[in-house]
Amino acid sequence: MPTEQEDAGASLTCLGVAYPWQLDHMGHLNVQFYTVFFDQATWALFAEIGLGAAEFRATGRGMAALSQHTEYRHEVFAGDVIEIRSRLLAVSDKTLRFLHRMRRRPDGELVATSELVAAHLDRAAHRAVPFPDATRASLLARLRQ
């Protein structure tokens, strides 16, 4: 099971099941579906921290991935239930760095991690822009939790 330190500041952002149609020819979850689960966790995390779809539609803003580093630790098979817990690691004027940790239930085995950097985007201008002051303050406060 996860240690307190590993889960410090982490939120449950995805709960899912590996289906047979998601497996590769070797019988485990294909890497593309790890990315699907991590993407779902990303958008759940964003919504939780005040960067949800309604906010983006209202402001013309959005988020864009700049980098993603995924480590595969253990195989996931059809029928395995996975959960992802996510937390912010760093906040700058225009970017967030965050970590997802995917575990198999019920044993808590860490099966994969994914660390990402995403930029706050002006969708019309197609460029990174600073977070509003109140948003940035909220994100920084969340880091200290």
For residue 9, name the pLDDT band (cuts at 50, 70, 90): confident
For residue 1, name the pLDDT band (cuts at 50, 70, 90): very low
Domain-embedded: residue 119: yes
Domain-embedded: residue 128: yes
Taking residues 69-84, what's their average pLDDT?
A: 98
Domain-embedded: residue 6: no
For residue 5, name the pLDDT band (cuts at 50, 70, 90): low
d(CA 106, CA 83): 10
Three-state DSSP at 65 gives strand
Three-state DSSP at 139 gives helix
Domain-embedded: residue 84: yes
Yes or no: say if 77 and 23 are a contact pair by the CB < 8 Å rule.
yes
The parent domain of residue 92 ranges over 11-143
Residue 69 is predicted with a pLDDT of 98
pTM here is: 0.92
Residues 89-107 have pLDDT tens digits of 999 999 999 999 999 999 9
Domain-embedded: residue 103: yes
Domain-embedded: residue 1: no
d(CA 2, CA 24): 28
pLDDT at residue 80 is higher than 70? yes
Check which CATH number belongs to the domain holding 137 and give it.
Answer: 3.10.129.10
**Measured over all CA atoms, what is the biggest interatomic distance in the chain, rounded to whole angstroms?**
49
Characterize 78-108 residue by residue with b for buried, 16 or more Cβ atoms within 10 angstroms of its Cβ, and e for exposed: eebebbbbbbbeebeebbbebbbbbbbeeee
Domain-embedded: residue 45: yes
Domain-embedded: residue 4: no
**Cα separations in angstroms, 83 against 6, 15, 61, 125:** 14, 4, 29, 36
Residues 17-66 have pLDDT tens digits of 999 999 999 999 999 999 999 999 999 999 999 999 999 999 999 999 99
Domain count, the chain: 1
